[in-house]
Amino acid sequence: MPKHDFGAFLRCCDKEPQNVIILRQPEEDGRSIFRLPTKNRIIQFIGNGGLEQLSFVNTEEWRNNFDKSYPLYVDAYEFRTLSILGYIALIRNERLGTWIVKSFHRSKNDPSLVIGGLLGNRQN
């Protein structure tokens, strides 16, 4: 069961995008994988329902949290958009009133990664 309300995250993306933080790697992956060139476009994409067939994966305590006295939790989901099976992981910081997108990339379970890997092996 997720720690955070994903619907609240979607509403924040739609109505309060200034309270959504996209970390560097998710921004780069958004640009290269999903063709979303900026942080704002990623937030708009999410807020406008771009994450289809959302499926909860897991919740973990964030290992890179610098303040161990205030634990933060990461909720991870898989989703589909176009022909891509994607993965998003997010953190809610109640103290700051912000959402942090920690990961936004192709899921390791995306069948196209397996096919691409097989084709890559055949060429060697």
Is residue 1 a part of any domain in this protein? no
Is 27 among the domain residues?
Answer: yes
Q: What is the pLDDT of residues 35-81, one digit of tens each?
A: 999 999 999 999 999 999 999 999 999 999 999 999 999 999 999 99
Residue 11 confidence (pLDDT) above 70? yes
pLDDT in tens, 91-110: 999 999 999 999 999 999 98
pLDDT tens sequence across 80-89: 998 899 999 9
Q: Would you say residue 42 lies in a domain?
A: yes
Provide mean pLDDT across the span 25-33: 97
pTM: 0.88
Q: Measured between alpha carbons, how far is 60 from 90 in angstroms, rounded to an integer?
A: 11
Question: Any long-range contacts for 31-38 (C-beta under 8 Å, 24+ apart)?
Answer: 33/84, 33/86, 33/105, 33/106, 34/81, 34/84, 34/86, 34/104
Residue 121: is its pLDDT beyond 80? no
Q: Which domain holds residue 16?
A: 6-123
52, part of any domain: yes
Residue among 76, 64, 67, 72 at smallest CA distance from 105? 76
What is the band of 111 on the pLDDT scale with cuts at 50, 70, 90? confident
Query: How many structural domains are present in the chain?
Result: 1
| Residue 72 belongs to some domain of the structure | yes
